[in-house]
Structure 1
Amino acid sequence: MSSLIDARDAETGRPWAWRRLLKSLGPGLITGAADDDPSGIATYSQAGAQFGYSLGWVMVFSYPLMAVTQSISARIGCVTGCGIARNLRRHHPRWLLRCVVLMLLVANIANLGADLGAMAAALQLLVPGPALLYGAGFALLCILLEVFLSYARYAAILRWLTLSLFAYAAVVLVVRVPWSEALLGAFVPHLAFDAEHAQALVAILGTTISPYLFFWQASQEVEEQLRRTAQPLYIAPARAGEELARVRIDTWVGMGYSNLISLFIIIATAATLHAGGITDIQNSAQAAEALRPIAGGLAFALFACGIIGTGLLAVPVLAGSAAYAVCEAFDWVEGLDHKPKDAKAFYGVIVLATALGLGVGFIGLDPIKALYWSAVLNGLLAAPLMATMLAIAGSRRIMGPVTLPRSMAIAGWLAVLVMAAASIAFLVL
């Protein structure tokens, strides 16, 4: 192991292991960072404000479940050379495909509305101006980048945007945190069987393990194969060991980064808002504004800038995952590496979903209700979709010799049970 770490690349002189790690980061890192979108920030902020540090353990507990689930979706893309929706079209009843895609579309559009509204509100806190104009500007910017940049250049921009999440690590550094209490909340589960905790638990899990992330990462792995002109692994199983090792590193690092930042948000809001008696946060911009008198202007500015940065990352992922799902469902040309004239339907769905999301955020609909129903749909969709993915990944007929290992299958089914149990508990309580 030490020789591997100490070995240096002949061109750069950097440790080879780090060079390999950085080269491995791509779809998994982007997917994980996109999970901490403005609506997710609102969910984690509310958890910290309402319950203090006591729900921090959910981020630690959900990390392996999230990483395994995303690894399965990435594996499906690598092995079959197709995204989730195209595999559903080929191997499952059409009614199941239609239900999944419709629920994903509704949830993504509601989420887009919440995210664009939060980005506009955050910018309004920093630079006073019209929220509608700011929201439209963000929507237009995301559309232009996604439609007119090549996949390689756009993926590079998304990778750089993942750095915006460090704003929340910085917030934790500038506020006073009782670390013994924070670490106790992170590593010792606190269970309370009441409606408020059940709702918070489902909201956190639904925000962390979201169906749109499954579609996005699987399709991004397909895009990566096309960019490198590589064959799907069921055709070239000799490459499976190296390729799946890259996917595993990328996904576990990306999901670890995502959940660590989510934990930082819970800790930051627990140390400031909850400690200051503010226990009801309606959106991420309100969380930023509430930080100003308690934690100071720097923490406020970092929190607000983080909302904008993560929104610029998440909005294209939400719109793009919807476009992949719709186009794969109808067997249309899809992919960010296609020019707009060659994939009109794909880019049309991106534009339409973003525009509808902007409308949801600015036509007077309650953004909190939109976000709530988005979370409900994600929660209802997640467990059955995860079970379907496990069936696909375990099928030798679909995956060839690169089927899912038993250990991953067991962990995947555990994640399904946790998501299903959380949703049932929420409905019952």
Structure 2
Amino acid sequence: MKQLLALSLGILTAIGGFVDIGDFVASSQAGARFGMSLAWVLVVGVVGICAYAEMAGRVTAISERAVFDLVRERLGPRVALLNLAATFLVTVITLGAEMGGVALAVELATSVHYLLWVPVVGFALWVVLWRLKFQHLERIFSLAGLALVVFVVALTHLNPDWSGMWRQASRPTPADGEDWPTYGYFAVALFASALTPYEVFFFSSGAVEDKWGRDQISTMRANVLIGFPVGGLLSLGIMATAATLFHPLRIELDSVGQAILPVAIGLGKLGLVAAILGLFAATFGAAMETGLSAAYTVAQYFGWQWGKLVAPRQAARFHTLLLVSVLTGVLLLLTTVDPVRLTEFMLVFSAVILPLTYLPILVVANDHEYLGERVNGPVANTVGTVFLLVIVVAAVAAVPLMIATGMGG
């Protein structure tokens, strides 16, 4: 159990990044419309986030400073300010969408409209971020989020056509009746969901909160190489259940209730309870990640005192920013904007700003001044450069594909 708890940061980061409310529905939609032909995107996304999270974690463990702090110092305040502005905007709006996801999960459990839960969720989130220690946040929500494994279990009870699913996965082409632009749009959205900017900033800042140093590099790598693949596996399970139940019937999904239906059919009421619990924990964990990440990056840019290890009075600006971010998310949701569509919309713009996030990490990970002999080796640089090129392609294609397909419609 102690070893499992040591992996909680990676699991929380991965579940919050891979299985937030937008990706939950996006994976289901992709499975329903394209079967398993987009599974390769999730696999590629896992490899990419593992490569860059390892760089970010190594930078933090060696320097004992958060990545964004070093980005500002290494690239200068102007470049870092551009990164900060883009990342903060996307992160705060995503925070609102994640809180909407929590409210939707509670709606499924209570049948009370999600908008009535939004202020309650916002207050609960602020209290948790204010009062609970960082290690408690990691452990509670990372372990509870693992309840989403129920999708993988449910898949085995749906009598899937395993050979047919493998054929779909090994032939990455649009399904009958779908076109390449729509296929490309979903591919970009899924890829962006795997590498959302707040993931690496949260992981790096969380490493500082956990006081990782040179002696914890093996723990950091275990978090990366176990935690993020677990998140990817859960997303694949969600996609596969939708591909099994809905794809043969050509049913398109647009709600959380539809997305968890395969679990209810495969495992009954107990499975449904587990799915709702997992969805609640994953989206609440994602809301915590995005809220903390927004405050982390701003505080690190301006050199403010920050973190959960610091008493609120000593980090007053950090905690004030947390509160303002949560309130902004609540107000955004109270406009009645659909949280699922909002997150899908922001995934596109997350793709647009991905180069601003990952290029600086690659630069810092090659800086001998910070890392000495622990700079990237040839393999890490090759993988990082290849993925950076893929990221640039996704960034360039994101908005044109969104416009051309009407957001996949």
- Give your verdict on TM over 0.5: yes
Structure 1 residue matching 2:38: 3-state secondary structure: coil
Structure 2 residue identity aligned to 1:29: I
In structure 2, the residue matched to 1:9 is none
Question: How many Å apart are 1:289 and its aligned residue?
Answer: 5.7
From 185, 195, 198, the equivalent of 1:199 is: 185
From 211, 214, 225, the equivalent of 2:197 is: 211
The 2-side partners of 1:372 and 1:312 are apart by 18
Q: Are residue 34 (structure 1) and residue 16 (structure 2) matched?
A: yes
The 1-side partners of 2:136 and 2:264 are apart by 36
CA-to-aligned-CA distance 1:135-188 (integer Å, 9 cap, x gap): 2222222221221122333333233233232232233233232122223334x2
Question: How many Å apart are 1:361 and its aligned residue?
Answer: 1.9
The 1-side partners of 2:157 and 2:165 are apart by 15
Question: How many Å apart are 1:296 and its aligned residue?
Answer: 5.8
In structure 2, the residue matched to 1:411 is 383
Structure 1 residue identity aligned to 2:383: A
The 2-side partners of 1:351 and 1:171 are apart by 39
CA-to-aligned-CA distance 1:205-260 (integer Å, 9 cap, x gap): 000111100100011111122xxxx7x54xxxxx4xxx322211110101110100
Q: Are residue 113 (structure 1) and residue 91 (structure 2) matched?
A: no
Sort the Cα spacing of 1:28 and 1:380 in 2 relative to 1 into closer, same or farther, 3 A.
same
Q: Are residue 223 (structure 1) and residue 209 (structure 2) matched?
A: yes
Equivalent residues in 2 for 1:2-17 (5 A)?
A: none
Sort the Cα spacing of 1:399 and 1:68 in 2 relative to 1 into closer, same or farther, 3 A.
same
CA-to-aligned-CA distance 1:309-368 (integer Å, 9 cap, x gap): 211211101101111101001110111112222211212222221221122222123435
In structure 2, the residue matched to 1:278 is 251
Equivalent residues in 2 for 1:373-412 (5 A)?
A: 373-412=345-384
Q: TM-score when scaled to structure 1?
A: 0.85
Question: How many Å apart are 1:308 and its aligned residue?
Answer: 1.2
Sort the Cα spacing of 1:20 and 1:372 in 2 relative to 1 into closer, same or farther, 3 A.
closer
Structure 2 residue identity aligned to 1:223: E
The 2-side partners of 1:167 and 1:135 are apart by 26
Alpha-carbon contact 1:272-1:295 (below 8 Å) kept: no
From 230, 233, 236, the equivalent of 1:263 is: 236
Question: How many Å apart are 1:20 and its aligned residue?
Answer: 8.0
Structure 1 residue matching 2:246: 3-state secondary structure: helix
Q: Are residue 172 (structure 1) and residue 155 (structure 2) matched?
A: yes
Alpha-carbon contact 2:59-2:370 (below 8 Å) kept: no
Sort the Cα spacing of 1:189 and 1:408 in 2 relative to 1 into closer, same or farther, 3 A.
farther
Aligned residue-pair number: 396
Equivalent residues in 2 for 1:247-258 (5 A)?
A: 247-258=220-231
* More deviation, 82-91/165-174: 165-174
Percent identity of equivalent pairs: 21
Structure 2 residue matching 1:176: 3-state secondary structure: coil
The 2-side partners of 1:292 and 1:20 are apart by 33
Equivalent residues in 2 for 1:310-329 (5 A)?
A: 310-329=282-301
Question: How many Å apart are 1:131 and its aligned residue?
Answer: 2.0
From 78, 93, 96, the equivalent of 2:79 is: 96
Computed over aligned residues only, the root mean square deviation of the Cα atoms, in angstroms, reads 2.4
The 2-side partners of 1:48 and 1:301 are apart by 22
Sort the Cα spacing of 1:306 and 1:294 in 2 relative to 1 into closer, same or farther, 3 A.
same
* More deviation, 341-350/175-184: 175-184
From 318, 328, 337, the equivalent of 1:346 is: 318
Sort the Cα spacing of 1:384 and 1:103 in 2 relative to 1 into closer, same or farther, 3 A.
closer
Structure 1 residue identity aligned to 2:66: G
* More deviation, 83-92/159-168: 159-168
Structure 2 residue matching 1:275: 3-state secondary structure: helix
Alpha-carbon contact 1:285-1:304 (below 8 Å) kept: no
Structure 2 residue identity aligned to 1:211: P
Equivalent residues in 2 for 1:134-173 (5 A)?
A: 134-173=117-156
Structure 1 residue identity aligned to 2:9: P
Structure 1 residue identity aligned to 2:315: A
The 2-side partners of 1:217 and 1:383 are apart by 18
Q: Are residue 55 (structure 1) and residue 38 (structure 2) matched?
A: yes
Q: Are residue 79 (structure 1) and residue 62 (structure 2) matched?
A: yes
Question: How many Å apart are 1:373 and its aligned residue?
Answer: 3.5
The 2-side partners of 1:290 and 1:92 are apart by 48
Structure 2 residue matching 1:341: 3-state secondary structure: coil
Structure 1 residue identity aligned to 2:346: S
Question: How many Å apart are 1:271 and its aligned residue?
Answer: 1.1
Runs of 5+ in structure 1 lacking a partner? 1-18, 234-238
* More deviation, 155-164/101-110: 155-164
Structure 1 residue identity aligned to 2:343: L
Alpha-carbon contact 2:32-2:251 (below 8 Å) kept: yes
Q: TM-score when scaled to structure 2?
A: 0.89
Larger radius of gyration: 1
Alpha-carbon contact 2:192-2:350 (below 8 Å) kept: yes
The 1-side partners of 2:191 and 2:127 are apart by 32
Alpha-carbon contact 2:58-2:220 (below 8 Å) kept: yes
The 1-side partners of 2:309 and 2:47 are apart by 31
The 2-side partners of 1:157 and 1:267 are apart by 27
The 1-side partners of 2:135 and 2:2 are apart by 19
